[in-house]
Amino acid sequence: MTLGSDRIAAIEALNKKSLWLASWMVHHANHIRPNVDGVKVGGHQASSASMAMLLSTLYFGVLKPEDRVAVKPHAAPIFHAIQYLMGRQEKQKLIDFRAFGGAQSYPSRTKDTADVDVSTGSVGLGVAFTAFASLIQDYVRAKSWAKTDRPEGRMIALAGDAELDEGNIYECLLEGWKHGLRNCWWIIDYNRQSLDGVVREGLYDRIEAIFQAFGWTVVTLKYGALQRAAFAEPGGDKLKSWIDNCPNDLYSALMFRGGAAWRERLTDAIGDQGEVSALLARRSDAELAELMANLGGHCAESLLEQFNAAGSDTPTVFIAYTVKGWGTPLAGHKDNHAGQMTSAQIEQLRAAHKIRDGHEWDRFEGLENPEELQSFLDAVPFNTKASRRLSSAAVPTIGPQFLGTGATSTQAAFAKILDAYAKSDSALSERIITTSPDVTVSTGLGAWVNRRNLFAPKEKVDLFQKEAIPSTQKWRFTPSGQHMELGIAEMNLFLMLGAAGLSHSLFGERLLPVGTLYDPFISRGLDALNYACYQDARFLLVATPSGVSLAGEGGAHQSIASPLIGMAQDGLASFEPAFADELAIITDWAFDYMQRTGDARPDLADWPRDVTGGSVYLRLSTRTLEQPPRPVTPALSEGIIRGAYWLNPPTPQCEVVLAYQGVLASEAIEAAARLGGDRRNVAVLAITSADRLNAGWQGSVRARMHGDHTPSHIEQLLAQVPNKIGIVTAIDAHPATLSWIGSVCGHRTIALGVEHFGQTGTVQDLYRHFGISSDDIVRAAKQFASF
C-alpha cells in the first residue's frame, strides 16, 4: 500500500480498525468489565457497523475542521473509535464506555471529552439541529460585526433511516426551505432496519420525493464499486435487476446467512442463464458474500466520489444503502439492533481482524504499515486543528432597561424593555437575535422587529408599507435584520434557540437568542427544549401569556404545569415576575447569566449554576397589575434574582405568611390588607423564582453535608418567621411549585394553585373556581390564625 496515492486503502484499513474497536468496546462493556449491579449495559454493535464506512470516509477523507457533525446516537461506539484513532479520544474512555466518566452511550457535547459537535440521543433532533445550525451560520456571516476570515462549514447529519419517522424532520424541512437552507448534508444510513425490525418496502421512493419537493438534491448511493464492476460483466444486468427487486427482508436474511445461501438463492432465481451462472461461478462463497454486501454505503471509493462531487448551495441528502451489522456476524439479522455478538462471534471477528489477546485496544493491531497509517492520520484535514470548539468573549450587559410605568402586565413590560434594547446602540443589542413560531406580535416582539428588522440573506421590502397600507408592523427583511420568523412549530423554535445558543462555540460569534411563545405550548416542543439545554445552549425563553389568568382563552391555552417544567429542567433558570421592575432586573441579569462559563463546585454537583450559567425562562402574563412605587435598591435586586424578597417583612406580631409567585401578587396583597388591616401581622413574601429558591436550598442542604453551613436564601428569609406561624402559598399554576417551602424550616403550609384544566370566564370567575382568589387566600390564612 502506498499512502497518499491510495487514500481509499488507508480509509478501508482504518475503517476495519474502527469496526473492531467499536465492536470490542461494546463487548468489553457488557461481557468483560465486571457487572456489579446486574443491570444491562448495552451498546449498538450492528448500528455502528452499518455506519462504519460512512463515518470513516467522512472523518478520514472528507471533513474539514469547520464542518459540524451530528452522529446518529447509536453510532456512538464507531464515532468514539474513530476519534481515538485520530488521537482525539483517550483509550481509557473507550475501556470505560458507558461506565461512570467513560465515553458516552450517545455522543454528547457536554459529557464527552471527545470532539462532539452536536449531541444526539433523541432520534430526529440532531438531524434537524444541523439545518438550524446552518441557518445560524448564514445569519452570523451576514453581520458586519462577524469575523470574516473563518471558512464556512457544512452542517452534516448522519441519520438512521428510521429517524425519518420523526415528525420534527418534516417541520424542519419546511422551515429550511423558507429560509433558503444551504451548507447542509443529511446522510441516511439506509439499512432498512429500525429497532424492531425491517422497514416497509418502497420507502426509498417516498423519501426521495419528499426531499425533492423541498428543493434538496438527492444522491443515491446504492451500489459499491465491486457491484458496479460486476454489473459490467456479462450477465451483470440480470444481477443488478435481481438486487433492485429483492425485498428488504430477504436481502437482510441472506446477508445474515452468508455466501453459500446467496449462491443458492441467486442460482435458483437467475442462475439458469449462462452468463449469470458464470458470473457467480467466478466467485467463491466468501467473495460472493463480499459482493452482495458491497452496497454504496460500505464502499469508500463510491462515497468519496459522491461526497467530493457535492456542492454546498443546495441542501443535499445522501441515501446510502447499507447492511445493519455489516462486516460482523450480526449482519442483516432482524433482531440485531440491541443484539450483541456472542463470545464465539466476537472471537470469529477477532480472528478475521488478526487481534492478539491483550492487544484489543492497540491502534494498529492486525493492520499492515502502521507508520504509514499514522502519517496518513496526521495529515487528515479534520485532524489538523487541536480543538474545533470556538469561543467568543462575553458581551457586557447594559443594566436594567426599566421604564417607569403605571399599571402594566409583564408581557407589555417585556415589549417595552425589548424596545429599549432595540433603541440602545450597544454591542449587547447587536448580538440579540429574536425568534418566534408565528407569535411574534402577540408575544410582544412587534416593536423590537420594527426597529431591528427581520433577517433574510437578501433584502426584501414590506409590501404593505410600500403600498402605503397603514399597519403598526413594519416587516422589512434584510441581512442585518435580527429577527428570525418561524412557522407554527414549537420544536423548530427550540431547535433554533439551541443552534443560536451555541453560536459562540460552533461559529465563534456570540449570539443572545430570545425566543417567545405561548406558555402552554412549551410542552409541544419540550423534548427539543430539553435537548437544547442538554447541549448547554444559551438562550432566553419568554413564555407569554400563561395560566388561567388568560381567562377568556379557556383550557386549551391556559398553562398549569409550566412552572414545574421550569423547575425540573436542568440548564434552565425560570422566573415568574409580577412587576415590571422585577422583569427589567431579571432580563439584565439573564443576558449575563447566559454568557457565564465557569467550573461548578464539585461538592455541589451543578448547583447553584450561578458559576456555570445557563438559559433562562420567563413566565409572563397579560394581566395588568398596579405597580409598587419603589426605588430599586441593590437588596431588592438581589432578592429578585435569588428568587424572593419580603414585600411585607414579618414583624414580631406576625401571624401568617402569604407567599405568591407571579400575577397572584394582587390577590396576596389584597388578602394581606383584609387580614391584617394596619396591624402589620401578615407578612407577604414575593417569589420571583421558585426554581432558583429551590435550587439554592437544595444546594445548601448538600453543602451542609460537606461542612459548609451557609444558609440558602429561602432559609435566611424564613429564619425570621417563628415556627408556629403558617404559610399560605398561591400561584396561578400547579400548587406543588411552592408547596415545598413548608419543608424548609418546618412551617405548616397550605398551597393554593390550579390542578385542573382551565375554563373560560373572567379572571375573578376563574380564580374563585380554582380557589386562588383573595377570598380563598384569606380563608386559607384563617386556618392558621384567629383573625
Residues that bind ligand TPP (CB under 6 A): 47, 50, 73-74, 122-123, 160-163, 189, 191, 193-195, 324, 337
When CB distances are held under 5 to 8 angstroms depending on the partner's kind, the choice from ligand TPP, Mg ion, none that residue 717 binds is none
Q: Does residue 171 bind Mg ion (CB under 5 A)?
A: no
Cβ contact 72:366 at 8 Å: no
Name which of ligand TPP, Mg ion, none residue 73 binds, using a CB cut-off of 5 to 8 Å depending on partner kind: ligand TPP
Q: Give me the least distance between CB of 202 and ligand TPP, in Å please.
A: 16
Q: How far is the CB of 122 from ligand TPP (least distance, A)?
A: 4
Q: Which is nearer to ligand TPP, 523 or 698 (CB)?
A: 523
Tell whether residue 650 is a contact of Mg ion (CB under 5 A): no
| Alpha-carbon distances, residue 614 vs 533, 609, 644 (angstroms) | 8, 7, 20
Quote the least distance from Cβ 304 to Mg ion, whole Å: 23
Q: Which does 582 bind (CB under 5 to 8 A by kind): ligand TPP, Mg ion, none?
A: none
Q: Which stretch binds Mg ion (CB under 5 A): 84-92, 152-160, 334-342, 400-408?
A: 152-160
Residue nearest to ligand TPP (CB): 160
Q: Where are the alpha helices (DSSP H) in 320-409?
A: 343-353, 370-379
- Judge residue 470's burial from the number of C-beta atoms within 10 Å of its C-beta, 0-12 exposed, 13-18 middle, 19 or more buried: exposed
* Residue type at 744 in one-letter notation: V
Q: How is residue 309 written as a grid cell?
A: 462531487
Pick from ligand TPP, Mg ion, none: which does 549 bind, CB < 5 to 8 A by kind?
none
- Please report how close the Cβ of residue 376 comes to ligand TPP at its closest, in angstroms: 28
**Pairing verdict, β 432-437 and 316-321:** unpaired
CB of 122 to Mg ion, least distance (A): 16
Residue 478: what residue type?
A: T
- Closer of 162 and 276 to Mg ion (Cβ): 162
Neighbours of 631 (CB within 10 A): 6
Residue 600 in grid coordinates: 461548578
Minimum Å gap between C-beta 337 and ligand TPP is 5
Cell numbers at 204, concatenated = 426509498
Backbone region of residue 605 per phi and psi (left: phi > 0; alpha: psi in -120 to 50; beta: other values):
left
436 touches Mg ion by CB under 5 A: no
10 Å CB burial of residue 180 (0-12, 13-18, 19+) is middle
48 is an interface residue for Mg ion by CB under 5 A: no
Question: In the bound complex, what is the minimum distance in angstroms from residue 501's beta carbon to ligand TPP?
Answer: 21
Residue 456 binds which of ligand TPP, Mg ion, none (CB < 5-8 A, kind-dependent): none
Q: Least distance in Å: CB of 337 to Mg ion?
A: 8
50 or 302: CB nearest ligand TPP: 50
Question: What is the spatial order of strands in the sheet that 217-221 belongs to?
Answer: 68-71, 155-160, 184-190, 316-321, 217-221
Task: Give least dist CB 193 to Mg ion, A.
Answer: 5
Phi and psi dihedrals of 694, rounded to 5? -65, -40
The nearer residue to Mg ion, 108 or 193, going by C-beta atoms, is: 193
Contact between residue 47 and residue 75 where contact means Cβ atoms under 8 Å apart = yes
C-alpha cell at 192: 432498512
Which three cell numbers, joined as nine digits, stand for 237?
444486468
Longest dimension (CA), the chain: 107
Q: Which amino acid is at 696?
A: G
List, as one string, the DSSP characters of 737-783: HHHTHHHHHT--EEEE---S----S-HHHHHHHHT-SHHHHHHHHTT
Nearest to Mg ion of 211, 448 (CB atom): 211
User: How far apart, in Å, are the Cα atoms of 670 and each of 457, 653, 777?
Assistant: 53, 19, 9
Binding pattern to Mg ion, positions 518-557, x when CB under 5 A? ----------------------------------------
Task: Decide whether 112 or 610 has the Cβ nearer to ligand TPP.
Answer: 112
> Residue 596: what are its φ and ψ, rounded to 5°?
-75, 145
What is the number of residues in the chain?
787
C-beta closer to Mg ion: residue 114 or 162: 162
Identify what 74 binds: Mg ion, ligand TPP, none; CB under 5 to 8 Å per kind.
Answer: ligand TPP
Binding window for Mg ion (CB under 5 A); candidates: 162-170, 259-267, 348-356, 407-415: 162-170
C-alpha cell at 738: 411552592
> In terms of CB distance, is 160 or 235 closer to ligand TPP?
160
For Mg ion (CB under 5 A), the number of binding residues is 5
Query: Judged by CB under 5 A, which of 160, 224, 437, 735 binds Mg ion?
Result: 160
Q: Which among Mg ion, ligand TPP, none contacts residue 238 (Cβ within 5 to 8 A by kind)?
A: none
Q: How far apart are the first and last CA of the chain?
A: 93
CA 608 and chain centroid, separation: 22
Considering the rule CB under 5 A, would residue 252 count as an interface residue with Mg ion? Answer: no
CB of 72 to Mg ion, least distance (A): 9
Tell the smallest beta-carbon distance from residue 306 to ligand TPP (Å).
20
Does 259 engage in binding with Mg ion (CB under 5 A)? Answer: no
Q: Record the cell numbers describing residue 332, joined without a space.
A: 442483516
Cell numbers linked to 298: 460500505
655 binds, among ligand TPP, Mg ion, none (CB under 5 to 8 A by kind): none
- Which of ligand TPP, Mg ion, none has residue 195 at its interface (CB below 5 to 8 Å by kind)? ligand TPP
Q: Give the C-alpha distances (Å, rounded to integers) separating 760 from 411, 552, 558, 665, 666.
A: 20, 5, 10, 22, 21
Name the residue nearer to ligand TPP (CB basis): 435 or 530.
530
Q: Which is nearer to Mg ion, 74 or 263 (CB)?
A: 74
Q: What minimum distance in Å lies between the beta carbon of 396 and Mg ion? A: 48
**Which residue's CB is nearer to Mg ion, number 117 or number 161?**
161
Question: Cβ closer to ligand TPP: 59 or 784?
Answer: 59
356 DSSP 8-state letter: P
**To the nearest whole angstrom, how small is the minimum distance from the Cβ of residue 196 to Mg ion?**
11
* Alpha-carbon gap, residue 324 to 252, rounded angstroms: 8
Give the footprint of Mg ion on residues 173-192 (CB under 5 A): 191
- Which strands form 682-687's sheet, in the order they lie side by side? 644-648, 682-687, 656-661, 726-731, 749-752
Pairing of strands 644-648, 682-687: antiparallel
What are 184's strand-pairing partners? Answer: 155
Contact by Cβ (8 Å): 548, 509:
no
Return the one option of ligand TPP, Mg ion, none that residue 544 interacts with (CB less than 5 to 8 A, by type): none
Give the residue with the Cβ less far from Mg ion, 195 or 461: 195
Cβ at position 603, least distance to ligand TPP in Å: 33
Q: Please report how close the Cβ of residue 680 comes to ligand TPP at its closest, in angstroms.
A: 55
189-208: contacts with Mg ion (CB under 5 A): 191, 193
Are residues 221 and 192 in contact, defined by beta-carbon separation less than 8 angstroms? no
**Three-state secondary-structure class, residue 573:** strand
**Cβ count within 10 A of residue 737:** 28
Nearer to ligand TPP, 532 or 683 (CB): 532
Determine if 610 is a binding residue for Mg ion (CB under 5 A). Answer: no
In the list ligand TPP, Mg ion, none, the entry touching 739 (Cβ below 5 to 8 angstroms by class) is: none
Residue 161 is a binding residue for Mg ion (CB under 5 A): yes
Please report, as ranges, the residues that interact with Mg ion according to CB under 5 A.
160-162, 191, 193
